[in-house]
A and B are shown apart, each in its own frame.
Chain A
Amino acid sequence: MTLALVEVDESKLEGILRDLEKIVEMFNKIRDLNLPDELEPLYTTYLGEGNVREDVEGGVTGSEGHKLLSRELEDGYLKAPRTL
């Protein structure tokens, strides 16, 4: 939970932990599976060659984009919590 940055109500904690244990037990079926080393993992089933647009600056950038996204701005910049 710490790593996921998710907080849970104290009253619900016990139930959620019980559920998580059950689900991890189901996942362990995969962990305990013997698979051939040569079996390649599959991350996408997309059959095409991909459509990647040219990396050019769009119409809405910088502070304009920030204004669209946030209600709290300071000097045209997003006002964010401190990190240290």
Chain B
Amino acid sequence: MSIRDLRARVEGDPDFLFRYIEEVYRIVERHEEVVRAYITLRPMEEVVKEAEELLRRGTLGPLGGSLVAVKDNISTKGIRTTCGSRMLENYVPPYDATVVERVKAAGGIIIGKTNMDEFAMGSTTENSSFFPTRNPWDLERVPGGSSGGSAAAVAACEATVALGSDTGGSIRLPAAYTGTVGLKPTYGLVSRYGLIAYASSLDQIGPIGRCVDDVARVLSVIAGHDARDSTSLKVEVPDYTQFVREEPLRRYRAVVIEEMVGEGVDRGVVKALEHVINKLEGYGIEVEFRSVPVLEYSLPAYYIIAMAEASSNLARYDGLRYGIHLSAEGLLWTKAYAQVRKIGFGDEVKRRIILGTYVLSEGLYEGYYLKAAKVRRAVYDGFRKLFSEFDFAVSPTAPTPPPRLGEVITDPLKLYSLDINTVPVNLAGLPAISVPGGFVGGLPVGIQLFGPPLSEGVLINVARMVEVIVGYER
């Protein structure tokens, strides 16, 4: 059920909200044993109590009692927030992230905290310290990552909508693999206050839903300036649902970037993209092909920058301020610190801290980090030039349908290559949306739309058209 439908039903019959909550918990009970989307599911009694409070408030708010699943790296007051890591296994934040405050104020009810790759480092949710999440479409396959729990919860109808975070594709990739819609906002549009940092210059929080309208509704609630985030944009936030139209709001020009449909992209995925492009042309949208050669370097540049920032951000897990507590009696500080990190972090996190430290070290900084930052500038300039001519770009979200569990996790380069089409968008701080683009071999594939800064309205409009073209809406 969509947010719009739920809200309308509750408005006419407030008791419907309790029946809805019961039904969602019944679904969770049926599916969760195999899907495993949640790290922490709130007891139904607590959720019902909040529903009663919401109805007493007298106003349903734009989210109308929606059950919102929240990725476990977003702080929730009084609810355990593990970041998918043993390091924070028992951490209970004393405050809500700004996005959580806003969701609650808008009539959303937090149903639970979803599984994720540890500290958002991964693309399959297999890097969770607790357990892997499975793709509801095929339980032998991954749901994508790192917001895999959020996307799986939405796809399996274990929540109305979800919040995820996207550093290099962590909202869009799981959305593509689970047949859901995921939006990564322009850098700074949504507050990061309360988001546990991975790579601060790339991280953004965004919504995952079963339809474009739900995603537009949640974005309207969470977007907007927040003085507690020093990189929050001071911009007017429109009601994004006004862009959910089945026809173009103006005459658009679209671009397909050759590097995003070339080598390594599955033939079936390309065919799904071609089908969507042909239909978009039928709406009068002009589509042209262009090359942005620097994108060849975006994957290594992204990983250098992300790992460098991670090595700094994760230094705070010292067992004193944050992280697991060990007896340090008789140990030197460096030894105690290394022990905490050895026990608290998983292999992928350790790998990224080691490499992040390496690329920032004296004598290597200029060759790796500084050059990666220059490539980032070239990507940014390349897109800026492109979007002076075009309104949006269209590409496959992921190069292939979802891999099998265990298929890519043992080879880091294979794992990183899943992000090939999503990381350039984060390097440039642009908004992007992944919308279902059909099926290949019975598995969902996603179409990515991205555009210049603050073009979320255009992307939502075109994503709604893609929804109609593909004929898949839940």
Contact = CB atoms under 8 A, between A and B. Distances in A.
Size class of the A contact interface (CB-based, 8 Å): 35 or more
Contact of A20 (B300, B354, B373, B378): B354
Given A1-B354, A4-B311, A69-B321, A29 B413 contact: no
A48 B322 CA distance: 31
Interface in B225-259: 225, 227, 229-234
Given A27-B368, A71-B325, A42 B353 contact: no
B458 interface: no
B231 A46 contact: yes
A27 B300 contact: yes
A9 B297 CA distance: 33
Given A5-B337, A23-B412, A48 B377 contact: no
A8 B227 CA distance: 40
Given A68-B94, A70-B321, A3 B373 contact: no
Contacts of B355: 20, 23-24, 27
A7 interface: yes
A55 to B, nearest CB: 13
A56 interface: no
B275 interface: no
Interface in A21-60: 22-24, 26-27, 29-31, 33, 35, 39-48, 50-53
Interface string B327-338: 010011111111
A4 B374 CA distance: 25
Nearest to A78: B320
Size class of the B contact interface (CB-based, 8 Å): 35 or more
A43 B370 CA distance: 9
Given A42-B376, A48-B188, A69-B320, A30 B371 contact: yes
A1 B94 CA distance: 33
A48 B454 CA distance: 12
A6 B350 contact: yes
Nearest to B311: A4
B291 interface: no
A64 interface: no
B347 A27 contact: no
Contacts of B233: 46-48
Name A's interface SS: loop
Contacts of B188: 46-48
A53 B155 CA distance: 40
A50 B337 CA distance: 33
B354 A4 contact: yes
Given A30-B371, A48-B231, A69-B321, A83 B303 contact: no
Contacts of A8: 342, 347, 350
Given A29-B300, A30-B300, A46 B187 contact: yes
B372 interface: yes
Contact of A81 (B186, B230, B335): B335
A33 B371 CA distance: 8
Contact of B347 (A7, A12, A45): A12
B137 interface: no
A24 B233 CA distance: 35
Given A4-B311, A19-B351, 15 more contacts: A3-B358, A4-B353, A5-B337, A8-B347, A23-B416, A24-B355, A29-B300, A30-B367, A44-B429, A46-B429, A47-B187, A47-B429, A48-B232, A69-B320, A78-B320
